Amino acid sequence: MAEKGKGYKSVIIKVKRYDPGKGFYDSEYNVKISRYSTVLDALLSIIEKQDPTLAVRYSCRMGICGSCGMIINGVPRLACETNIMGLGVDKIYVEPMYNLKIVRDLVVDASDFFKKHRSVKPYLIRKDEEEQFRAAEEYRQTPEQLENFLPFAYCIKCGLCVAACPVVAEKPGFLGPQALAQAYRWYADSRDQGGISRLELVDSFDGVWSCEFAGSCSRVCPKGVDPAFAIQILKTEIFKKKLIKR
């Protein structure tokens, strides 16, 4: 109920928790929030005033670092960018990210996520290796060339797309939307000379061909990246390259 004139109200925050020794269990908290409060604010208030044992990971508190991803009322979201009143409900259920190993409570282990990200070589590849590390001059691009990859360069590696992906849930070996979108981000960069080798990295059962185009990755991205679209372009590029080779 809102407290008249103060813009405050109380909400119930229910948290799905995990203790390596105990397994899963729920904890419920009554939290006073203002109209500006985010889910992260509420969780930090719980830790400060009610339960210091609740484990949460965060850093920037402004939607940049990507470390506060969690499932809020069934949807992968950044806790620091989710305004509680904007959810329009008085009871919020917070769970740890899906498809990632849980360390404790809302803290997940992102090492497999970053391993997949690294596997697509998320950096410029140049044919001249000496130049790659000691470029004599900057690589110039036209605004059009920049536009080819820029929408995919906004990824903050929060993992929400992976948490939303039904294929990752079924096939843990699948590279997943984040790594594949980044494979396309570098493939589409005019400065990159990785060319066909980049396509070969993702032309596999665990690569683009497992994507079923559910599109849930693109719907939850807090930065408007469209991994589902990137994956379909990669499929088309692989197909075109194979036709040319024949």
Q: Which residues bind ligand FES (CB under 6 A)?
A: 58-61, 63-68, 78, 80
Q: Which is nearer to ligand FES, 55 or 238 (CB)?
A: 55
- 3-class DSSP assignment, residue 16: strand
Closest CB 61 distance from ligand FES, rounded Å: 5
Nearer to ligand FES, 59 or 111 (CB): 59
Distances (CA, A) of 58 to 2, 51, 212: 28, 17, 31
Q: Which is nearer to ligand FES, 46 or 208 (CB)?
A: 46
3-class state of residue 179 by DSSP: helix
Which one, 63 or 119, has the nearer CB to ligand FES? 63
* Residue 40 beta carbon to ligand FES: minimum distance, rounded to whole angstroms: 6
For the bound state, the minimum distance from the C-beta of residue 225 to ligand FES, rounded and expressed in Å, comes to 14
User: What's the closest the beta carbon of residue 224 comes to ligand FES, in angstroms?
Assistant: 15
CA angle 165, 169, 174 (to 5 degrees): 80
Shortest Cβ 81–ligand FES spacing (Å):
6
Nearer to ligand FES, 67 or 182 (CB): 67
> Could you give the CA distance from residue 85 to residue 39 in angstroms, rounded to a whole number?
10
Long-range contacts of 28-37 (CB under 8 A, 24+ apart): 32/8, 33/8, 33/9, 33/84, 33/85, 34/7, 34/8, 35/7, 35/83, 35/85, 36/83, 37/83, 37/84, 37/85
